Structure 1
C-alpha cells in the first residue's frame, strides 16, 4: 500500500508539472492557457488568475488587445476589460471602444459594457469621450453610471449637453440625476450653471439634489459665484420665474445662495447679506433661516461690520438660532461682541445661556475669567428654578444637574487661561492644536485661522481627523482661510492631502460627519486644484 500511494503521488506531481510548462511572466504562457481553456468559465478563471498573479505588465498589452478583439463571449470581455483597466495604458482605448456593444440587451452584455466603460475611465484618455457619451443612452443604469463617472473623470466638454439633459431628466432615477450633477461639477464647464442653480432647490420623490448641486457649483468657481450673487440679489428674472412655477419658496435662494457665497468668500455679497440679518417674514421659521444663513456666510467671510448687528441678535432665546449668531461672531473674532454675549448669558434657559457663555469663552481672555466663576456659583439656583418651572431631562436630580453644568462653566473658564497664556502668539496656539481638550483645539484653530498662521497649516491639517464636530469644523474653516490667503499655507496643507482624501473616503456614508465633511470635501478640492 505505501508503494501504491507513493506511485500515485509521483504521477500527480508529474501531471502538475506537465501543465505548468512555460514562464508565467510571459504573455505567451497566458495566451496558451487561454487557448487551452474550452469553457467560458475556464477562460474567465485564466484572465482573473493573470490579473492577480503579479506578473501583469505593459508587455502583455498586444496579446490582451488581440484576445479582446477576437472574443465574443461577454463574460470574458468583462474579465479582459478589468485587466486593461488595471494597466491604464493609452493604447487600450481603441480596443476597449471597439469591444463596446451600445445595443446590448442582456445582463452579461450590459456587465461587459459597464466594465469597458470603467476601464476607459481609468485609462483617462480624452479620445474615449465620444464612445462613453453614447453609453449615456444605455438601457442599463449601471452602465450609464460608469459612463457618467468616466466622463466626469475625463472632464470631457463634449459630454456637457447630454449630461445636462440627464441631470434634469425627471423620467430617470434620482440617483442618475445626482451622478450627472457630480460629473458636471468635475468637468467644470460654465454651461452647467443654469441647470445646477435650478437643481439646488429641486426635490423629486422626496429626494433633494442640494448637496450634489452645491458642490458642483463650488467646483465651477467664478461663473457659479456670479450666478449665485444674482440670485441672492434677486436679479435673475428667469430663475425667479422658474422658481415660482415650481412652487419654490421665494426665500429659498436667499438662503442657499448665501451659504454658497460664504463658501466662496465672495465679498461682493456682503452688503446684501448684512441686509438679510434684518430679513422679516410672516413665517418666523423662514425669517430665522434666512437670517441664520446670512450670519453663517458673514462669519465665514470674517466680515467685521457684521459684528454689531449680530451682537443685537444674540438675545434670541431659541438656542439653535442663537447658536448660529454666536458661531458667526466667533468666526469674525474680536472683543466687540463680548458685552452682548455677557448679557445673553443671563437670558433664556440653560441651553440658550450656555451657547452665549461658550461664545464668550472662545472670544474672551483673562478679563472674563471672573464671570465664569460667578456663573458657576450661581448655577445651582438657576438650575433649581428652571427645573421647577419647566422640568426636563436631568431634573429628577436638580443638584446633580447643576453640578454638571457648573463643571461645564468651569471648563470654559479654564479655556480663558489658555488665552491668557498664548495671547496673539501663533506658535503657542499651534502647540494647543494638539490638546486632548476639543474646546482648546477649537479656539486654537480659530486663533490661527484669523491670525494668518500660515506656518502652522500643517499642524491644523494633522488634527482634522478628530471626532469632535465643533473642533473639526473650526480646523477646516481655519484651513480654508489660510489656504485661500497664503501660498505657503496651501503648500503645507497639501502635504496632508493623501491623508485627508483617505479620511473622506473612510467616513463616506457616516451620518455623524455628513455636514462637516462637506467642508472637508471643499478643502480637498481646493488643494487638488491649487
Structure 2
C-alpha cells in the first residue's frame, strides 16, 4: 500500500509540474499526463498511479490500447499490459497480440512479453492462443513458462503437440519440462498420454518427472488408462523400445502404471494386477516393489479378489514389504485375511510381528480378543529370544522391553472392543472418530468408506486435516469410496467442503511431512472439482 501511495504522490507531482489540468476521472486527463512524461520511468509511474487511483474503468480501454500500440519502451508496455490485466476485457486481446515480440532478445522486451502473456491469461480469451503457441519457442524462459501456464489454463488443444515436444526436450531446463507436463494434464488431450507414460520414469539433472506426469495422467482419465494398461502388462512395444534405448528397467513401468491405474480406480487392470502379486525377478528388490505397488493399487480400487493372494504374502519378514501387504489387506477389509495375519504375528522380528498385530485389529472384532491376549502373554519370551539372538537396542533389560511390547499389543487390542460394538454401523464409527487415536481413526474412516453410507461424507471430509499421515490417507480413501458410489455425494462434498480442502492444500504446500499423502488429497480435490 505504501508503495502504491508513493507512486501516486510522485505521479501527482509530475502532473503538477507539467501543468496538467482537467477531470482526473477521464481517459483524456491521464492520456495527457502520460503523453507529457518524457522519460520512460515517469510514464511507468503515471500508469501505475492510474492503476491505484480507483478511476480506471472500461472507458479507458481505447486510450490504453493506443498507448500500448504507440509505445516504444518495453518497460512501459509492461506497465500498460498490467493495467489492461486489471480490466480483463476481451477487447484488449488484439492490441496485446499485436504488441508481442516473439523475437525479443533483451531482458526488458522479454519481461514485457511475459507481462502481456500474463494479461492474456487473465482475460482467458481463446483468440489469444495462435499468438501464444509460438512463444513456447521464445528465447527466454520467463516468457516460455508464462505461455506454457496460460495455454494449459486455457486448455488449448492447438498447443498439445508443441507442449509434448517441450515436455520431452532434453535441451531445456527440467523446470520447463515439468511445467509443460502440468499444462498437458490441464488440457487433458489423449494425444499426450504416450509421452506422459514415458516421462513417469524419466530423470534428468537429478530431477524426476514422476509427480507431474502421474498427476497429468490422472487428469487425462480413461485415455491415460488405455495407454497404461499395455505398459502394466509389458505389451507396449514402442514403450519397451524407448525404455531400452534410455536405459530404463521395464519393471519401472509395471510399478508406476500400477500406481496410476490404482489412482484411477481402473477396474480393467484388476486381472493384470493380480498377476503382478506373483511377479518374479532376479533382483529381489525389484520383485518386491512390483508386488507392493500392485497390492496398493488393488486395495485402492477395493478389489476383494486380492485378499486371498495377499494373505499368503504377509509371512514376508522384511518390514517394509510386510507393511505394504498388511496395509492393503486393512484397506480391503473383511475377515478372510485373519488366519494369515495370525501366523505372521508369530514370525519375524518385533516390528514385523507388530505389523501383523495391527492388521489383526484393523480387520478383527471381539472374537480376536483372546488371540491378542495370547500374543501379549507370549511376547516377553519372544523378546527375550530376540535379545539373545541379536542383542538389539533396549536389550540391556530384556524383561522390561518384553513387558513394554506386551503392553503395546494390549493397547492395540482395545480397537477390537470398538469393532465389536460398531460392527458395520457407519454412524457408530463416525461417533468414534471425534476423539480417536490415529489407529482407531484409520479403521473408522475405512469402515465408513466401505459401507457406502453417503450421509457421513461430511464427517470424513472434516478429518482430512489429521496430522497422522496413515490416518489421513484412510480418510481420503474412505471419502473417495463414498464418492465412487454416488454423484450426489460428490456434489454435496463439493458444496460443503471443497473450499476448505483447497485451503488445506494451499496452507500445507511445502510441508514435507504431508507431501506424499497430499498428492492423494490433490487427486480427491480434482475429482470433487469436476463434479
String of CA shifts for 1:148-205, please: whole Å, max 9, x gaps.
0000001001111111111111111111111111111111111111211211122222
Partner of 1:445: helix, strand, or coil? helix
Q: Partner residue of 1:515? A: 516
Q: Per the alignment, do residues 339 and 161 of structure 1 end up closer, same or farther by CA in structure 2, a change over 3 Å counting?
A: same
- Could you say if the C-alpha distance between residues 341 and 207 of structure 1 is closer, same or farther in structure 2, counting changes exceeding 3 Å? same
After superposition, the Cα gap between the structure-2 partners of 1:100 and 1:269, relative to the gap in structure 1 and judged at 3 Å, is: same
Q: What's the counterpart of residue 492 of structure 1? A: 492
Give 2:354's aligned residue: 354
Shift of 1:376: 3.6
SS in 2 for 1:102: coil
Alpha carbons of structure 1 residues 17 and 142: separation in structure 2 relative to 1, 3 Å: closer
Deviates more, 1:42-51 or 1:84-93: 42-51
Output the CA distance in 1 between the equivalents of 2:338 and 2:139: 62
Q: Render the CA deviation track for 1:210-245: whole Å, top value 9, x for unaligned.
A: 111111111111111011111122322221222222
Where structure 1 has 5 or more consecutive residues not aligned to the other structure, the ranges are 1-13
Question: 2:383 touches 2:398 (CA, 8 Å); kept in 1?
Answer: yes
> How many Å apart are 1:485 and its aligned residue?
2.0
Instruction: Tell me what 1:73 maps to.
Output: 73
| Paired residue secondary structure (2:467) | coil
- Show CA shifts across 1:327-352 (max 9, x none): 11111110111111122111111211
CA shift at 1:283, angstroms? 0.8
Q: What per-residue deviation string (whole Å, max 9, x for no partner) do you get for residues 371-418 of structure 1?
A: 333434444443343334324444455556445544433332222222
- 1:11-30 equivalences under 5 Å are 27-28=27-28, 30=30
Q: State how far apart, in whole Å, the 2-side matches of 1:347 and 1:211 are.
A: 36
Change (3 A) 1:273 1:392: same
> In 2, Cα distance between the equivalents of 1:87 and 1:393?
67
In structure 2, relative to structure 1, the CA distance for the partners of 1:284 and 1:99 (3 Å cut) is same
Distance 1:433 1:55, change over 3 A: farther
Structure 2 regions of 5+ residues with no counterpart?
1-11
Alignment map for 1:124-273 (pairs within 5 Å): 124-273=124-273
What number of residue pairs does the alignment pair up? Answer: 517
Helix, strand or coil: the match of 1:483?
helix
Tell me how far apart the structure 2 counterparts of residues 360 and 41 of structure 1 sit (CA, whole Å). 72
Match of 1:5?
Answer: none
- Check the 8 A contact 2:44/2:79 in 1, yes or no: yes
Cα distance in 2 for partners of 1:402, 1:27 equals 83
The reply to whether residue 502 of structure 1 matches residue 510 of structure 2 is no
CA 27–254 in structure 1, closer or farther in 2 if over 3 Å, else same? same
In the alignment, what sits opposite 1:46?
A: 46
Matched with 2:529 is: 528
How far off its partner does 1:321 sit?
Answer: 0.2
Task: Mark the CA change 1:17 to 1:250 in structure 2 (over 3 Å): closer, same or farther.
Answer: closer
Shift of 1:303: 1.1
Q: Is the 8 Å Cα contact of residues 234 and 250 (structure 2) preserved in structure 1?
A: no
Give the deviation of 1:54 after TM superposition. Answer: 4.8
Displacement of 1:68 after TM fit?
A: 2.1
CA distance in 2, matches of 1:473, 1:21: 65
Matched residue SS, 1:514: helix
Q: How has the CA–CA distance of structure 1 residues 74 and 317 changed in structure 2, closer, same or farther, with 3 Å as cutoff?
A: same
The 2-side partners of 1:463 and 1:319 are apart by 28
Q: 1:378 to 1:97 in 2, by over 3 A?
A: same
Following superposition, the deviation at residue 34 of structure 1 comes to 3.0
Q: Counterpart of 1:317?
A: 317
Residue matched to 2:289: 289
Partner of 2:453: 453
> Structure 1-normalised TM-score?
0.91
Following TM superposition, by how much is the alpha carbon of 1:429 offset from its aligned partner in structure 2, in angstroms? 1.9
CA 249–480 in structure 1, closer or farther in 2 if over 3 Å, else same: same
- For 1:320 and 1:483, the matched residues in 2 are separated by 30
Give the match's secondary structure for 2:360: helix
The Cα shift of 1:30 comes to: 4.1
1:302 CA displacement: 1.0
Cα 1:28/1:351, change in 2 over 3 Å: farther
Query: Which deviates more, 128-137 or 414-423?
Result: 414-423
**More off after superposition, 383-392 vs 458-467:** 383-392
**TM-score of the superposed pair, with normalisation by structure 2:** 0.91
1:229–1:67 Cα change, 3 Å: same
| CA separation of 1:105 and 1:485: change in aligned 2, threshold 3 A | same
SS of residue paired to 1:313: coil
Cα distance in structure 1, aligned partners of 2:473 and 2:494: 18
Q: Which residue of 2 aligns with 1:9?
A: none
> Structure 1's 28 and 387: CA in aligned 2 closer, same or farther, altered over 3 A?
farther
